[in-house]
Amino acid sequence: MRALDDIPRRLLVAIGGNAIHPADIRGTSEEQKAIAASTARALLPLAQLDNELVITHGNGPVVGKILMRQALTRDRIAPMSLDICVAHSQGGIAYLLMQAMENALRQADSGRHVVCLLTQVEVDPDDPAFDQPSKPIGPFFSEEEAEQLGRELHWLMAEDAGRGWRHVVPSPKPRHIVDISLIQVLARRGTVVIAGGGGGIPVVRGPKGVRHGVAAVIDKDLTSALMAKVLGIEELLILTAVPKVAIRYGTPAQRDLGLITLREIKALHVEGHFAPGSMGPKIEAAVGFLEGGGERVIIGHLEQAVAALTGETGTHIVADDG
C-alpha cells in the first residue's frame, strides 16, 4: 500500500461507459446527474492533490441509446451519422462530469477548474475493423429481441460476454489524438481535463490535414492508453463496474487478480480469459501502455478509485523487471 501523496504527480483516469451508465438504469437526466455526482465524489481526493489530472470516459451505452432514438424517429427526423452521435455523447457525458466535479471541488473549498475538450481521434481508413464490426454499444437484449432489431434496423447484433446481445459497430485503433498539446497545456496549468470521451470522435485525415468523420466507435481504453503514452504519464487508472480483473469469471473457479506482471497478464490473455466485449480491450490497452513505457495499470471499481490507486484493492498490472 501507498499514501495518496506517493502516487505519481501525473495521472490519467479512464472511466468505463458501463460504470457511468449502468445497465440497470433507465437513463433519465436525474439518474445521469446522480451518477455524475457520485463519480465526482469518488474522484474528489484525486482532484484535491497538486497534480496533473486527465480524465477519459466511455460512451457505449449512451451512444447506443442515441442510435436507438434515431431509429425510432427515423421517419420524422433525419438521423445523424455515427461520428456525430459520438460527439453528442462525448459532450453530454463530459458536461455532467465537469459540472459535478466542479461542484464537488467548490463544496470542498477548492478553486480548481475542470474543463471538457471535444476530442477528435484519427484512425486509419483502411483499418480492418471497418469490415469486422466488434464494438458493442447500447443496451442489452435477449437473443430474440436482437434478431428482431437486426432485421428491422439492419443492425449487426452479437452476444456480449454472456451478458446478452448488443448492437456492434466498427472499432478502429486510435492513431493520433488531435490537438493533444492543448490537453497537455491545460493539465500543466492545474486544470482537470476531461478529454477523449467515448474513445474520441473518429476521423480520418486527408491531404493538407483535411479531416472528416467516419462511422465507428473507438475503444476508450485504447485511446486512454495512447493519450497517457503521448503525455508521458506513468500510471493509468481504469475504473469500471468490477473491483478486480478475474479469470474464469462467473464460475465456481473464479479467481480475482491482485498484483500481476505484464508477462503474466499477457499469458492469461492468450489463454482466452478476457472476453472481447468486456475485459479484453482493457487488458489490450494495459499491455500496449506498459510495452510503450508505462509503469503500472490499475483496474478497479469506480466507487473504490482511491483505494485502488493506493493499493488496497484493484488489479495492479506492472511492467516486467529488466
C-alpha atoms less than 13 angstroms from C-alpha of 184 in its C-beta half-sphere: 12
Q: Is 74 helix (H, G, I), strand (E, B) or coil?
A: coil
Cα Dmax for the chain: 61
What per-residue confidence (pLDDT) applies to 106? Answer: 98
Quickly list DSSP for 231-298.
HT-SEEEEEESSSS-EESTTSTT-EE--EEEHHHHHHHHHTT-S-TTTTHHHHHHHHHHHHTT--EEE
Q: Is 174 helix (H, G, I), strand (E, B) or coil?
A: strand
Topology of the domain comprising 4-318: Carbamate kinase (3.40.1160)
Q: Which residues belong to the active site?
A: 17-18, 135, 220, 282
Say how far apart CA 129 and CA 152 lie, in whole Å. Answer: 24
**Share of the chain residues as helix, strand and coil, in percent rounded to the nearest 5:** 45, 20, 35
What per-residue confidence (pLDDT) applies to 278? Answer: 75
CB burial readout 134-149, b (16+ within 10 A) else e:
bbbbbbbbeeeebeeb
**How many CB atoms lie under 10 A from the CB of residue 231?**
19
What per-residue confidence (pLDDT) applies to 277? Answer: 66
CB burial readout 260-272, b (16+ within 10 A) else e:
bebeebbeebeee
Average pLDDT along the chain, 322 residues, taken 10 residues at a time: 87 88 84 94 95 94 88 87 95 96 98 97 97 87 90 87 85 96 97 97 95 96 96 95 90 94 96 84 95 95 94 95 64
Cell of 112: 480548481
What per-residue confidence (pLDDT) applies to 184? Answer: 97
What per-residue confidence (pLDDT) applies to 129? Answer: 95
What per-residue confidence (pLDDT) applies to 57? Answer: 96
pTM of the predicted model as reported, rounded to 2 decimal places: 0.92
Q: Is 10 helix (H, G, I), strand (E, B) or coil?
A: strand
Say how far apart CA 100 and CA 308 lie, in whole Å. Answer: 21
What per-residue confidence (pLDDT) applies to 312? Answer: 95
What per-residue confidence (pLDDT) applies to 311? Answer: 94
- Phi, then psi, of 198 in degrees rounded to 5: 65, 20
